[in-house]
Structure 1
Amino acid sequence: MTFIHTAALVVFTLSSVQLVTAGARVLAPINLPSNFQYPNGITRASNGTLYVGSVTSGRILRINPKGKIETFFPGSDEVFAATSLRLDEQRGILWGTSPDFLGVRDPNGKTSRRPHRIFAIDTRTGKVLRVILMPDGGFGNDIALDANGGVYLTDSVRPRIYYLAPGADRLRVWAEDARFTSQEIGLSGIARRSDGVTIVGLFSTGQLFKVIQESQGEVKVEAIPLERKLENPDGMQFAPDGSLLVTEGAVASGNGRLLRIDALSTGAGPKLVETIASGMESPVNLTVADGEVWVTEARIRHRILPGQEKKVPNNFFIRRFKLPTNTATGSTV
């Protein structure tokens, strides 16, 4: 998530999440502590432990497999937001993005924003290992990791995907393309398959792109044709069957969704956009394992609606869904 300037916003509220896809199930949500607001970044360890960060705070929760919630990291002057979290379990590192989404307002009402950055935290000690500022005033949005510990990072301000090599202290441009440019919010979610094929989304324009590292070192970018324009695609991950799971933030309509798209299928024509569930308020990120999806519902849309800024929700939670059998296992129907 980042700064949003939208001329026409329609207030739309659903009382509960609605399932759309046959075979999917809504599971009981995880209620977050009353003093934890606007969940965003989320990732899961192989033992079932969840890490959840906030859009507006550097605080990161740790939820064990039995549901016990504790503060893993309280936030700091260096880490003041956690809008994306990805776990490098092999190396014991929790990577995250920390953009200054709301900024700091002085007594005169002027808002200033601290330089956006990414961070790495030791999962054993909770110690901040590294903080790296975004180049050229960029806005680091979402993260994907490779098997070697490399970090791929979308920039919502500049039309770039960055790469941070293992052990490096400087981000380098991995892919830059004019089609990533947007007058409002650019690149948001990123998902990387084990073979290196990467998909990114443009938040404001609703487009998806496939990015491939070619053998000669060049990066190839291809637009993915869709049957409809997405309404603010944000967090994304690959499902076990190879399809793409995407949160659709839906700033204008308010009807946030969890989508499934066969984005990399070889068939001709636009890709089918399948809605698994709808009725969420600002779903922003997700993680998936064992046929289950955990979605952070940020409920932050009121902060960008004129006159609604002070209507802070009373509760925040993580939505949970069970995928249909074919999506969860990779089988075909």
Structure 2
Amino acid sequence: MRYSSLLSEVGSLAVSRFLRLAALSLLLGGLLPACSDDDENEPEAAAPAKITVPQQALHPEGIQYDESRKHFLVSSRTQGKIGTVKDDSTYTVFADDPRLISTIGLNLDATRQRLLVAVSDNGANTTRSTSATLRQLAAVAIYNSTNGSLIRYVDLGGLRSGQNHFANDIAVDAQGNAYITDSLSPIIYKVDAQGNASIFLENAQLSGGTGFGLNGIVFHPDGYLLVAKANDGTLFKVPVSNPASFTKVTVPATQSLTGADGLLLFDAQTLLLVSGSQARVLRLTSTDAWVTAGVNGTFITGAVSPTTITRRSPSDAYVLYPYQATSPRFAIVKVGF
């Protein structure tokens, strides 16, 4: 009887212990979050169709998307400073300097962790513009794209003193050389990876006459630049190894590129072109290495003064709507054809 009672007692203790452990397990299960492979592989939130940024009179001209930091970078024609924009519309100052009178085109050279900024003065920034810089300034400010620290500031207008200047847009080649358009002089500048500036190409055909001439510029991996002229919509192909041999890209006369501003080389055969005066983004394609090209897609923006465009993903591009110089906001909008 005593042996039987002992077994019964041991059994009761085991059951009691099991029940306590089961209760504890249920309690912890309710407190701890569930974890599964599905949670770890959740897709990122879809890119927004439009980001409206409540910044008074910023009037950004240039835009780039920094994939590593998940934000846009924008310039400011009226205030000069460079800022970042997140998908939730949050704007933060990234870099500023008294020499940044009007910041225009941007180029994010992610490989070298550089942000290149075209600097000009057309009088839009009333607090920083001076008689000495008005329509005389052309420069490139180069920043560390990680922390916003200034790497160097390169004067360009001094290469051709006595002429009107407006540094507008920037392209960077595989070696880190930068090419900058001047909208008020028929010049494309070059700044090498060490910061040395020179005249890359100067030709009367690049002039805009009394208006804006050269504007958007991109580097094609086959070794040439594609450059747009705003006043008449001419598109040039400029070999990097022999710029004097530049040619005009033939586009059907019925497909006007007048008002050409920012460019985005989407792939080797596809170029997106923003036309501010036409209030649209045009998709151009070429099958003969940009000897000829044609428009095969149009995205209508409306009267929002679109300026330029950036790639966000392999399939997405976003165009910048600065609105008017005194507007209380600007917008970044996903392009669809």
TM-score (norm 2): 0.74
* Mapped partners of 1:268, 1:221: distance in 2: 11
Larger Rg: 2
Unmatched 5+ stretches in structure 1? 1-25, 304-311, 325-333
The equivalent position to 1:180 in structure 2, one of 206, 221, 234, is: 206
Q: Which has the higher contact order (CA 8 A, sep 6+)?
A: 1
1:142 counterpart = 2:195:
no
What does 1:1-333 correspond to in 2, within 5 Å? Answer: 28-35=49-56, 37-47=58-68, 48-64=70-86, 68-73=90-95, 75-102=96-123, 113=134, 115-134=137-156, 135-136=159-160, 137=163, 138-169=165-196, 171-183=197-209, 184-214=211-241, 217=242, 219-227=244-252, 228-240=255-267, 242-250=269-277, 255-263=278-286, 265=288, 271-272=294-295, 274-288=297-311, 289-300=313-324, 312-322=326-336
Asked whether the 8 Å contact 1:163–1:173 carries over to 2, the reply is yes
Q: What SS does the corresponding residue of 1:239 show, helix, strand or coil? A: strand
Asked whether the 8 Å contact 2:144–2:150 carries over to 1, the reply is yes
Unmatched 5+ stretches in structure 2? 1-46
Superimposed CA distance per residue, residues 13-55 of structure 1 (whole angstroms, 9 cap, x where no aligned partner): xxxxxxxxxxxxx952111133352121111223232111112
Asked whether the 8 Å contact 2:56–2:327 carries over to 1, the reply is no
Distance 1:207 1:79, change over 3 A: same
The alignment of Structure 1 onto Structure 2 pairs a total of residues equal to 278
Q: What SS does the corresponding residue of 1:54 show, helix, strand or coil? A: coil
* Mapped partners of 2:82, 2:183: distance in 1: 22
Q: Aligned partner of 1:145: which letter?
A: V
Asked whether the 8 Å contact 1:234–1:249 carries over to 2, the reply is yes
Q: What SS does the corresponding residue of 2:62 show, helix, strand or coil? A: strand
* Mapped partners of 2:199, 2:111: distance in 1: 25
Asked whether the 8 Å contact 1:206–1:231 carries over to 2, the reply is yes
Higher strand proportion, which one?
1
* Shift of residue 220, structure 1, vs aligned partner: 2.0
* Mapped partners of 1:186, 1:246: distance in 2: 15
Asked whether the 8 Å contact 2:224–2:239 carries over to 1, the reply is yes
* Shift of residue 161, structure 1, vs aligned partner: 1.2
| Percent identity of equivalent pairs | 24
Q: Aligned partner of 1:233: which letter?
A: A
TM-score (norm 1): 0.75
Q: Aligned partner of 2:49: which letter?
A: A
Q: What SS does the corresponding residue of 2:56 show, helix, strand or coil? A: coil
* Mapped partners of 1:63, 1:268: distance in 2: 37
